[in-house]
Structure 1
Amino acid sequence: MAKIKIKSKRVTLKRNNKVEGEMDHATVSVIIRRQMLSVLGGLRWQPPYAKFIRNQLPPTTPFYSFLRPNTNTLKYQPPRFNFQTCFKTYCKNCEEQQFTNNNTPFSHGFSALKEECVPLESENLWSTLALYLFILHIPFSFGGLSVVAMLTQQSDLDPQIKALSLLIIQILELSGALVLFKYYAKPQYEFTNFFKSDKLLNGRNWIVASVLGFGFLVFLIFLTSLLSEGLFGSKPVNPILKEILLYSDISRVSCVLVLCVATPLLEEVVYRGFLLTSLSSTMEWQQAVAISSIIFSAIHFSGENFLQLFLVGCVLGCSYCWTGNLSSSIAIHSLYNALTLIITYYS
């Protein structure tokens, strides 16, 4: 090992501001050799003059770092690298980070609808919807009472018979729609998927969303009603609906079941469940909500109520996108129809 060159031939050591002694070049070399051997050999021996040699030698001296007194490198032995333990620790940290990020309501953005949960392929969506409209919706909703009048041979149906007939017609249309969409849907898709919430989105409670959505919907309808009355005057109450509600208890219960149970379930399954969910896989959720709301409003064939029905469809679509659970939109739809029945009954 080469000896370290020192400019001065002797080094003066001081302790407590007193001269302890002098060491020549050979003594310094011996101390450096011992310090290096102690570090390389894992010993804990510290030469008594190492501290003072470090203060006297310049930093450019070879092996300058080995002269540190009480160094921790002599006491600390780093653990051996274990790939399996390191990989498990990394995976655990990733899972905790993912759970923390996904546990917030805004972690997935506004829409909770997933592409893998699409019930209908894009090429089958519009053809299936057309079959539903021309085979089930238009014949049952607009021609059902005419068929009942022909079968009973009555030109003017009794209000109670109308209410019971509407209930049966809506049940038949709902059953036919479920069979039709189930036939054209993906084989692995289940109808109950509409009512399954994502476990990672516990903050999006469908009951809270239903209450907030219904309140916001009532506010929008109130504003549009004021605007409509200011431009076109007040609209008259539906005389057929009012007659059914005032006729008997049976007709009243039947009307409530139709408008608050059967109709919301049918329309939400078709226009929000199948239509909106399928559209959201090919476009942004805002566009999907707007298109499904336009179709929902146009299907009612009511020009004077088109704007209000469009707003209703937008609120229902946003509620379904936010929760990913069709129960929220069904609840809002039922509450809205119930409010309509109350206003009609007491007006």
Structure 2
Amino acid sequence: MTLKRIILGFLTVFLVVFFIGPSLLGSWQQPQIQSRLELYQTNLLLHATEWQGESGEEANTKSARNALIGTEPLKNAQKQYQEAREQAETNLAKAKTQAEVLLTQTEQQKATINQLQDFITKVDLRLGILQAIQGKPEAAMQTWQSIIQRLEAKDSDSPSLKTAEVLIGLWSQQAQILPNSDSTIKNSLDGWFRYQALAKLYNLQQREAALAELKAAEQEIAEQAVFKLAIVGAVPTIGFLIGVGLILFLLIQRAIKGKDSLLARNEDLSWTTPWDGETILQVFVAGFFLMQILVSVLVLPITLKLFNIDATNFDVRSKALLVFVNYLLVAAAAFLVLYLSIKPFLPLPEGWFRFKILDKWLVWGFCGYLSALPLVILISLINQRIWQGQGGSNPLLSLALEGKDLVALAIFFVTAAIAAPIFEEVLFRGFLLPSLTRYLPVWGAIVVSSLLFAIAHLSLSEVLPLTTLGTILGVVYTRSRNLLAPIFLHSLWNSGTLISLFILGSGV
């Protein structure tokens, strides 16, 4: 065994034990972004319930609104919030049990427990309002009273406790308006929930002008909500249906035409791979994972410290720029390792790293995207049942969801929709997949490269959906033999995700 192989073996074990394994296990207790997206969409639905449309268009307005939000939006919203609360309660119990087993709490565990407790309290505030608006004031009182009982001994100055007291006063049989009710509601509630609480307050205070202004503002917001729901709901639904039709067409064509079908094109045609598994391992251990650690843990932090820059105080624009710079440095380092690793084998056999501009890569990429929609959505639904809102998500998605700065969003878009597809497709589809065909049939290389592609994102909840997406990317590449096709598909996927995050997180 050579010294190089010993070093590669040591690095592989080190990365699995101290980086990949802990990162995946650490994501186990982290919430998925999907759970938050569902609540964001629920909030849009609640706003849309207030939409009255233009005068004289009541019938058309009601029909269009019902098509988007359903016939029982408040009941459905309450169910969504209750499910979110139950998931949070389950995860809180797990976190506390884990801390009890270890006989101590790490800082991360403390932060997780506090976040879950705070989330449950905020959900209860909103659940109470939903109950009150549906004519169940007694249930609402019990919900808000539970907040007071939890917090009055622990944190008597908690804004949530004061908000619960204000809400109890507003919806009591003998209404009581507490001091600073207006500011308390505005500071603790948002969206439709703030509107309902303020409307109740202004009604009790008989502030007709303020109430009229509030309702006018809510109508504008409701109209925007309807438009956003049409985009995030109707567009993916249309794509889903087209994708199902496309998949059925391809399967039927495969059954009828056999080897002459589109799905059968190049399905058994392997690449001529001049290097062995040692080179494959070298590229991914030293080039991909090790460079991520060196750049993220050493290079960037040391550079920031040398210039006396505190990244913990960064705003969303600075965070977006830091993510972009980090991604470029990792990609540049990985590409350098890739080049040095395959340099002894140049010139490469025909078919490697092929970029053909004058080809049908746009068609392959777009059809691959449509096919991916129904498959990934179905797998994601199953995945949600498995992980129950846990398993973590890409931190970039959370930043994009919360960031309302247009410059920051532009940087996120360049990172996710341009840089990431190029880097990841060259590495996983351009290098790894063809290299694996030296040892595996093409379909096996697609599956293994897709699984490694999913694991590389270091979130347990994303393994199944990303393996599915990676498989489609692999099929598109092996059939088209043009790296531009999976790059385009990957870019479309990330772009669609970012647009949905922006629409849901931009507020109304």
SS in 2 for 1:114: coil
Opposite residue 296 of structure 1, the aligned amino acid is F
Tell me how far 1:240 sits from its aligned partner: 2.2
Equivalent runs, 1:40-51 vs 2, <5 Å: none
Q: 2:294 aligns with which of 107, 124, 139?
A: 139
2:478 equivalent to 1:321: yes
Do the aligned partners of 2:387 and 2:461 also contact (CA within 8 Å) in 1? no
Q: Structure 2: how far apart are the matches of 1:133 and 1:191?
A: 25
Q: Structure 1: how far apart are the matches of 2:427 and 2:489?
A: 16
SS in 2 for 1:194: coil
Q: Percent identity?
A: 23
Question: In the alignment, which residue of structure 2 is the partner of 1:266?
Answer: 423
Opposite residue 291 of structure 1, the aligned amino acid is V
- Summarize the Cα distance change of 1:196–1:259 in structure 2 as closer, same or farther, 3 Å threshold: closer
Tell me how far 1:144 sits from its aligned partner: 7.0
Question: In the alignment, which residue of structure 2 is the partner of 1:227?
Answer: 382
Q: Structure 2: how far apart are the matches of 1:343 and 1:119?
A: 43
SS in 1 for 2:499: helix
Question: In the alignment, which residue of structure 2 is the partner of 1:5?
Answer: none
- Summarize the Cα distance change of 1:104–1:224 in structure 2 as closer, same or farther, 3 Å threshold: closer
Question: In the alignment, which residue of structure 2 is the partner of 1:173?
Answer: 330
Do the aligned partners of 1:112 and 1:322 also contact (CA within 8 Å) in 2? no
Tell me how far 1:282 sits from its aligned partner: 2.5
SS in 1 for 2:353: helix
Question: In the alignment, which residue of structure 1 is the partner of 2:499?
Answer: 342
Do the aligned partners of 1:164 and 1:251 also contact (CA within 8 Å) in 2? yes
Do the aligned partners of 1:319 and 1:329 also contact (CA within 8 Å) in 2? yes
Tell me how far 1:134 sits from its aligned partner: 3.9
Do the aligned partners of 1:261 and 1:334 also contact (CA within 8 Å) in 2? yes
SS in 1 for 2:501: helix
- Summarize the Cα distance change of 1:113–1:334 in structure 2 as closer, same or farther, 3 Å threshold: farther
Tell me how far 1:158 sits from its aligned partner: 1.6
Tell me how far 1:120 sits from its aligned partner: 4.1
* RMSD over equivalenced CA pairs, Å: 3.2
- Summarize the Cα distance change of 1:114–1:229 in structure 2 as closer, same or farther, 3 Å threshold: closer
Opposite residue 276 of structure 1, the aligned amino acid is L
Tell me how far 1:156 sits from its aligned partner: 2.7
- Summarize the Cα distance change of 1:198–1:331 in structure 2 as closer, same or farther, 3 Å threshold: closer
Tell me how far 1:167 sits from its aligned partner: 1.5
Count of aligned positions: 238
Question: In the alignment, which residue of structure 2 is the partner of 1:239?
Answer: 398
- Summarize the Cα distance change of 1:266–1:190 in structure 2 as closer, same or farther, 3 Å threshold: farther
Do the aligned partners of 2:436 and 2:445 also contact (CA within 8 Å) in 1? yes
Q: 2:366 aligns with which of 211, 229, 236?
A: 211
SS in 2 for 1:281: coil
Do the aligned partners of 2:417 and 2:492 also contact (CA within 8 Å) in 1? yes
Q: Structure 2: how far apart are the matches of 1:254 and 1:198?
A: 26
| Offset from partner CA, 1:34-80 (integer Å, 9 cap, x none) | xxxxxxxxxxxxxxxxxxxxxxxxxxxxxxxxxxxxxxxxxxxxxxx
User: Where in structure 2 are there 5+ consecutive unaligned residues?
Assistant: 1-258
Q: Structure 2: how far apart are the matches of 1:168 and 1:197?
A: 29
Do the aligned partners of 1:119 and 1:277 also contact (CA within 8 Å) in 2? no
Q: Structure 2: how far apart are the matches of 1:316 and 1:106?
A: 13
- Summarize the Cα distance change of 1:206–1:145 in structure 2 as closer, same or farther, 3 Å threshold: same
Q: TM-score, normalised by structure 1?
A: 0.60
Question: In the alignment, which residue of structure 1 is the partner of 2:68?
Answer: none
Do the aligned partners of 2:288 and 2:334 also contact (CA within 8 Å) in 1? no
- Summarize the Cα distance change of 1:207–1:155 in structure 2 as closer, same or farther, 3 Å threshold: closer
Q: Structure 2: how far apart are the matches of 1:304 and 1:228?
A: 7
| Offset from partner CA, 1:176-208 (integer Å, 9 cap, x none) | 222211111122139994234599xx7xx3222
- Summarize the Cα distance change of 1:334–1:141 in structure 2 as closer, same or farther, 3 Å threshold: farther
Question: In the alignment, which residue of structure 2 is the partner of 1:306?
Answer: 463
Q: Structure 2: how far apart are the matches of 1:342 and 1:297?
A: 22
2:163 equivalent to 1:163: no
Do the aligned partners of 2:355 and 2:482 also contact (CA within 8 Å) in 1? yes
Tell me how far 1:231 sits from its aligned partner: 5.0
User: Where in structure 1 are there 5+ consecutive unaligned residues?
Assistant: 1-101
Do the aligned partners of 2:271 and 2:351 also contact (CA within 8 Å) in 1? no
Opposite residue 338 of structure 1, the aligned amino acid is S
Q: Structure 2: how far apart are the matches of 1:153 and 1:162?
A: 11
Question: In the alignment, which residue of structure 2 is the partner of 1:195?
Answer: 354
Question: In the alignment, which residue of structure 1 is the partner of 2:310?
Answer: 153
- Summarize the Cα distance change of 1:257–1:190 in structure 2 as closer, same or farther, 3 Å threshold: farther
Tell me how far 1:277 sits from its aligned partner: 1.1
Opposite residue 310 of structure 1, the aligned amino acid is T
Opposite residue 243 of structure 1, the aligned amino acid is E
Opposite residue 399 of structure 2, the aligned amino acid is I
| Offset from partner CA, 1:196-250 (integer Å, 9 cap, x none) | 4599xx7xx3222111110111111221233334555567994322223x1x222
Tell me how far 1:137 sits from its aligned partner: 2.5
Question: In the alignment, which residue of structure 2 is the partner of 1:294?
Answer: 451
Q: Structure 1: how far apart are the matches of 2:466 and 2:298?
A: 22
Tell me how far 1:119 sits from its aligned partner: 6.6
Tell me how far 1:339 sits from its aligned partner: 1.1
Do the aligned partners of 1:256 and 1:338 also contact (CA within 8 Å) in 2? yes
Do the aligned partners of 1:197 and 1:323 also contact (CA within 8 Å) in 2? no
Q: Structure 1: how far apart are the matches of 2:365 and 2:264?
A: 21
Do the aligned partners of 2:473 and 2:486 also contact (CA within 8 Å) in 1? yes
Question: In the alignment, which residue of structure 2 is the partner of 1:253?
Answer: 410
